[in-house]
Structure 1
């Protein structure tokens, strides 16, 4: 599943009564600069022509990563911050696809990070979701809010494979396993312990999914290893996830295996794996107590 408006080229439905506009969209999608210039210079088609969803040629060129076409459309007067019906902008699509050069170009001509999709998504949240760390860094340098949140109850149209709500960029990057994006966000001041409405943090989710490179980055910033708002700990999550390396990383950071969750369960109560139990209870396993 994807962000609302993500599959831009799939849903583009040009108006049948404007064949020249259709040609502009085709040129923007294919990166045919010569044709695009010819059409725009004819004076018979507007640089801001759009389809029935409010998609503009600038959005299509940005999505496709065609730098020169993006620049030409801007120079011809295309509205950089125009929003299609989903709320997405050219910056959103360039960020989602990881086209950092296009993102930088859009900023040069006044692109704003303030616009949200109907789901509450922003250029920063979508770049974080897809692990585009260079884009994330560029967005943050240009005023994007590191604490951007999706709307409550945002659906799986935004996050791959599951429904999430109230999700911050750091949490999103962590649960997708994008360690470089996590690193950039942390260095730019993201709250290491920011949680969702269900109380899970970035570390909890990374531990559950076994994203060890993410866990390593998070541990550099001393996140909470204690009981979270969801009534559990990151160590509990790692044990449920069953990744030995994740458990070792957390134990090495002094996660407490004797700390019970809200159901009065120790991490060891959540597994039948002898290998994991030996990690959690080495003294018992060695017969020393």
Structure 2
């Protein structure tokens, strides 16, 4: 965030707002020689700077001098967006008291709720939801607040959003669901919550992979254990491979063993007619696969 101003007085206002120097800010604003809504070349206002920095008293002082609460900088961010991003709950509540709106979007579609969810600020999320924020907000790529919270592993926020009506299977534009993303990132507790709330265990994205396939490829065994409780598909997926193929390619022996114990079939070829044993040189993994291998040539 740029704070460079064209005049020394405006520079001083931004400095005071950034540092939380209330006495200097009052002196400058009361002088009548500087506008409370002075802006930089990015249309950042002093109110945005104070909100981003979490300086409650400076935010209040600027509001009392007429600062535009809902003004948007060139990126589309508002003071509420920036305070929500940083988790400054007291500032968020103050902005709402003076008319801040949750409806403004950044250029990438972001809102105060999407950014608070992404960074896991549960108190801010709670306040935003109670003051009318739309739980179905979406970024330009289709990511919802729930998707962003799941991606970052914020279990409390995931629960809050689901309790407020978030759609558990709402996918991003590329077909990626919150469950798929949480599995890919290794967030087992989020995966557990999503599954218990009705997430489609076999939902695939455009490349044909499922949550189990991705977790197997990454070796996220805690995630795999949660998914296996809901009997996901162990057969061939739309991408032409199985989760066991992914586990073997990932090279994690424990992952392979988990899937074998769940009755994954090591004799099932992929779309290229390759068995799991054809995809590794690891003796330990080969040893785990071969007792069940039925293709003599591959064994």
Which interval holds the TM-score relative to the shorter structure? 0.7 to 0.9
Matched, 1:14 2:17: no
Matched, 1:141 2:130: yes
- After alignment, is 273-282 or 197-206 more displaced? 273-282
The equivalent of 1:213 in structure 2 is 189
Matched, 1:172 2:161: no
Runs of 4+ in 1 over 4 A off after TM superposition: 283-289
Matched, 1:279 2:258: yes
The equivalent of 2:164 in structure 1 is 188
The equivalent of 1:129 in structure 2 is 118
Aligned partner of 1:61 among 24, 41, 50: 50
Deviations 1:180-212 (A, max 9, x none): 221211111111101011111011011111111
The equivalent of 1:242 in structure 2 is 219
TM-score for the superposition, normalised by structure 1: 0.86
In 2, Cα distance between equivalents of 1:229 and 1:219: 17
Structure number with larger C-alpha Rg: 2
Report deviation, 1:219: 2.0
SS at match of 1:281: helix
Deviations 1:1-58 (A, max 9, x none): xxxxxxx2xx22211xx22221111111111111111111122211111112111110
In 1, Cα distance between equivalents of 2:70 and 2:187: 36
Deviations 1:240-280 (A, max 9, x none): 1211111001111332323x210332211112233222211
Alignment RMSD = 1.9
The equivalent of 2:279 in structure 1 is none
**Number of matched pairs:** 264
- Structure 2: state its 5+ residue gaps: 266-287, 294-299
SS at match of 2:254: helix
Report deviation, 1:148: 1.1
In 2, Cα distance between equivalents of 1:263 and 1:233: 9
Cα separation, partners in 2 of 1:120 and 1:227, compared to 1, 3 Å: closer
In 2, Cα distance between equivalents of 1:227 and 1:73: 49
Matched, 1:110 2:99: yes
The equivalent of 1:255 in structure 2 is 232
Aligned partner of 1:94 among 75, 83, 96: 83
The equivalent of 2:15 in structure 1 is 26
Matched, 1:80 2:59: no
Q: Work out whether residues 207 and 241 of structure 1, in 8 Å CA contact, stay in contact via their aligned partners in 2.
A: no
- Structure 1: state its 5+ residue gaps: 1-7, 152-164
- After alignment, is 135-144 or 101-110 more displaced? 135-144
In 1, Cα distance between equivalents of 2:144 and 2:203: 20
Asked which structure has the greater RCO (Cα within 8 Å, sep 6+), the reply is 1
In 2, Cα distance between equivalents of 1:228 and 1:193: 11
Report deviation, 1:63: 0.4
